[in-house]
Amino acid sequence: MARKRKGLPIHGWFNIDKPAGMSSSDVVTRVRRYTGAAKAGHGGTLDPLATGVLPIALGEATKTVSYAMDGLKTYRFEVRWGIATTTDDTEGEVLEESSARPVREAIKAALANFTGDIEQVPPAFSAIKVNGRRAYELARRDEAVELAPRQVHIEELSLVEVCDGDRAVLEMTSGKGVYVRSLARDLARALGTVGHVAWLRRTAVAGFLESDAISLDKLEALGHSAAASDILLPVETVLDDIPALALTQQEANRLRHGQGIAVLPVASRSPFKDISQGDTVVAMAEGKLVALAKIAGGEIRPVRVMNY
């Protein structure tokens, strides 16, 4: 028999504004402590140096975390030209220096080469595994870290401000797996100098926006109160781009028990007319998420069932 988790059965999302100096896992731990939630996870890692939007999934919302991680993310960050560090940010030791400084026109011209599908080598100080060990563990021991380039997608990259000769602020919207530290490193090299990330703030993750984020201090003050429930977002928050189908209670109960239901009666009640074989759908009943499901063999078949 599975061991029952200790804590409250809280289901949904908090949009947390992560402070600097704290890991994403630390934030998850704080949220569980403040709310008493039995289960929690985050929707996309932020480095300790970084601040900004960190979606925290509670309870059954943890089953939808991958949709937050796979969604577009927006970052604002400052590149410090002329200094390369071991970590590609301010926390590392100085590795190399250069007197060259790029001008505004050169920076703007170079950005096109870092937009779209590009190859990117992750930083040596990253959580990627090399022969079963985290890259940052090897890097801290001064062991050689060889990471293969990965294809990543950068939707938009723009120059926000040239602060002075040494610093520039950029904004990027990207897909999964993009390292801002690698981007700063590679952009500096392309501009004939070296560089690192001086500060980094994430302003959006999928449907979670900076303007709606709350601080950990505010969440701690709310604790287990009803006010905390008021800012808890629904489990289906990250599923807005997936067609939602309304089920009857009888249909919902079949899905909850792992059984498929005929797709035609449900589809006939739906405004979505282009649902086809293999599509993922959101099954809803009485305004609550019942399951993530797939269309297969003329049926709606449950993939991840919610257990409230």
| Residues identified as active-site | 47
How many other β-carbons are positioned within 10 Å of the β-carbon of residue 171? 16
- Looking up tokens 């996309």 gives 44
DSSP of 148-196, one letter per residue? Answer: --EEEEEEEEEEEEEEETTEEEEEEEE-TT--HHHHHHHHHHHTTS-EE
What one-letter code names the amino acid at 117?
D
Could you give the C-alpha distances from 75 to 51, 195, 214, in angstroms and in order?
10, 17, 17
User: Which tokens in the block code for residue 285?
Assistant: 């009943």
| SS3 annotation, 3-43 | CCCCCECCCEEEEEEECCCCCHHHHHHHHHHHHCECCEEEC
